[in-house]
Each structure stands twice: as structure tokens, then as C-alpha cells.
């Protein structure tokens, strides 16, 4: 396995990888009577964002998220108002950082790694979710797929980061807790590190790229990257 050097760029996914989406669970319990609908909503959001890209179409992530919420309300036969949608969007913008994020990012930054983010979410909000979570100072750049109008794991999204930073994709290491993201990164020529957050696991199937690094948390990720630098 190729080593990740201190000159490499570590590219972090944001939603669920760095920020805790379980912050929204009480909202889904109130609206749907079941906290588990959060996972259904998030999975459908990813599914339909990728479906749009595969179809050559584009709608902003936030708009798809609101639409999926209304779709699930129809499926579960509950009422969702515009006030509910506004509340969910506010919760999405104020998700807290996972407890292991700040210590690990501090260590990686001190070790000389270049740190950036790449998210499916729009970049226009101010303050951003990363700023609200107190993580923005760790990152050199915050990239959004809206620049290319294609959602991860489309290769164009990872190439955008490489192009903007004037490096090859082989210099990037994509960190995510979603295997579909690491699969896309590896297909685009990046290295990958898979973070085993709850409700996420690797896919043991023939031909599915296995991540270069698999770790249980951000501390283990920092330990591994610093050791290999």
C-alpha cells in the first residue's frame, strides 16, 4: 500500500464523517414518531443525489433533501410543513462536530498535512456548518460539488480538488465514513481512508475497491497517517 506523506492533501467528507447527523434524530422522532427515519432520509438523499448525477441532471443538495423529506412524509402518511423543512435545514447547519474530530485534526495539522473538505452541500451558507461546529480553522479550503454540478462519487468532484490545489489526484487521500465516497475517490485515482462510524461498514463484494486505510475513529486515523508520514 502506498504511504500517505506529510505533503499529501487529506480531503475530508463533512456530513457524518466530521459532523454528527444524529443531531437531527429528535426532529425525526417528533415529525415521524421514529428516530430511525433519519437513516431512511439520509440514505434516500444520497440515492437521489447520485441518481440526478447519473441522469445528467442537477438540483442542489439542500433542495433534494427537502424534497426527500416531503417524499417520506407521503410514504409514512404524516404531515410536513414548510416550518418543519426550515427547522430541519437549521438543524443541518448546526450539527456538532464528533468528539474525536478536533483532537485528530489538531494532530494532523501539527504534523504538516494539508487539510481540506469536499461536500455535496452548497457552499453559500454563512456561517457554514463547519464554522458553526468550530472546525473551519483547521482547513485550507472548503470545496463544494456545486462548482461542477455533479455529486460525489462522480470523478469530477475529486478532480476538482486536485485541479484547484494544483496536485495530482494521487496526492489526495479522501477520508469518509461512506464507502460509496471512498469507492469514487479510488476510482478517480485518490487514496482513501474509511472511518467506521456507526451504521457504516465496508462492502465485501468482488470488484468493490477496499479502502487503503480502515480505522474505527479519527484518533486512529491520525495515528495511522502520522505514523506513515
What digits encode the pLDDT tens for the residues 66-121? 999 999 999 999 999 999 999 999 999 999 999 999 999 999 999 999 999 999 99
Domain co-membership, 213 together with 135 = yes
Number of domains in the chain: 2
Q: 2 falls in which pLDDT band (50, 70, 90)?
A: very low
What digits encode the pLDDT tens for the residues 60-72? 999 999 999 999 9
DSSP structure class, residue 128: -
Residue 179 belongs to domain spanning: 9-20+95-228
- What mean pLDDT is reported for the chain? 95
Domain co-membership, 134 together with 46 = no
Buried b (16+ CB within 10 A) or exposed e, 161-190: bbeebeeebebbbbbbbbbebbbbbbebeb
Residue 4 lies in a domain: no
pLDDT of residue 126: 77
Rounded Cα distance, 127 and 167, in Å: 29
Domain co-membership, 69 together with 101 = no
pLDDT of residue 172: 97
Q: 8 falls in which pLDDT band (50, 70, 90)?
A: confident
Q: Which of 33, 61, 93 is the last residue of a domain?
A: 93
What digits encode the pLDDT tens for the residues 153-202? 999 999 999 999 999 999 999 999 999 999 999 999 999 999 999 999 99
Q: Which of 93, 113, 128 is the last residue of a domain?
A: 93
Domain co-membership, 109 together with 89 = no
Q: 1 falls in which pLDDT band (50, 70, 90)?
A: very low
- pTM for this prediction: 0.94
Q: Which of 33, 67, 93 is the last residue of a domain?
A: 93
pLDDT of residue 84: 98
CATH number at residue 13: 3.40.50.1000
Residue 140 lies in a domain: yes
Residue 164 lies in a domain: yes
Residue 131 pLDDT exceeds 50: yes
Amino acid at each position: 500500500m502506498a504511504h500517505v506523506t506529510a505533503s499529501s492533501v487529506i480531503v475530508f467528507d463533512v456530513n457524518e464523517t466530521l459532523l454528527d447527523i444524529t443531531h437531527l434524530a429528535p426532529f425525526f422522532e417528533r415529525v415521524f414518531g421514529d428516530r430511525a427515519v433519519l437513516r431512511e432520509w439520509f440514505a434516500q438523499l444520497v440515492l437521489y443525489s447520485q441518481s440526478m448525477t447519473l441522469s445528467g441532471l442537477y438540483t442542489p443538495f439542500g433542495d433534494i433533501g427537502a424534497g426527500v423529506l416531503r417524499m417520506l412524509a407521503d410514504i409514512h402518511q404524516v404531515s410536513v410543513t414548510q416550518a418543519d423543512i426550515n427547522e430541519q435545514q437549521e438543524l443541518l447547519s448546526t450539527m456538532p462536530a464528533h468528539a474525536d474530530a478536533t483532537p485528530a485534526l489538531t494532530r494532523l495539522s501539527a504534523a504538516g498535512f494539508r487539510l481540506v473538505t469536499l461536500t455535496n452541500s452548497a457552499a453559500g451558507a454563512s456561517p457554514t456548518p463547519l464554522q458553526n461546529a468550530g472546525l473551519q480553522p483547521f482547513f485550507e479550503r472548503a470545496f463544494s460539488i456545486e462548482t461542477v454540478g455533479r455529486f460525489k462519487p462522480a470523478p469530477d468532484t475529486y478532480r476538482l480538488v486536485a485541479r484547484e490545489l494544483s496536485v495530482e489526484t494521487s496526492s489526495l487521500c479522501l477520508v469518509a465514513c461512506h464507502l460509496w465516497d471512498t469507492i469514487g475517490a479510488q476510482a478517480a485515482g485518490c487514496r482513501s481512508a474509511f472511518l467506521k462510524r456507526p451504521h457504516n461498514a465496508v462492502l465485501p463484494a468482488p470488484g468493490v475497491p477496499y479502502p487503503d486505510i480502515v480505522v474505527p475513529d479519527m484518533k486512529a486515523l491520525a495515528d495511522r497517517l502520522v505514523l506513515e508520514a
